[in-house]
Amino acid sequence: MIAYLYEHKDAEATQQMVARYGRRCLPIAEDLRNESFSYEVVRRAMDHFGKIDVLVLNQAVQFPQESILNITAGQLDTST
């Protein structure tokens, strides 16, 4: 299962890659900053796969820049 925010193309590409290895993948577009959605992800994983073997929460943002000094305070403030 892949829980993602806006990266629809990336999630679809990952799903296809997983399928090429003969495995199932369920992408879900939601915001993991919402606590109730985190519970929903677990419920849907259990419903779809019947169990959870490994759970990795990797919630991050990326701002490609030539230098870390070019990242603004506004880019790091995700509260809005």
Dump pLDDT digits (tens) for 4-45: 888 899 999 999 999 999 999 999 998 888 888 888 888 999
Residue type, 16: Q
- Backbone torsion region of residue 17, taken as left when φ is above 0, otherwise alpha when ψ lies between -120 and 50, otherwise beta: alpha
Q: What pTM was computed for the model? A: 0.65
Helix (H, G, I), strand (E, B) or coil at 45: helix
Domain span including residue 19? 2-76
Q: What is the pLDDT of residue 68?
A: 85
Total of domains in the chain: 1
Q: Residue 80 pLDDT > 60, yes or no? A: no
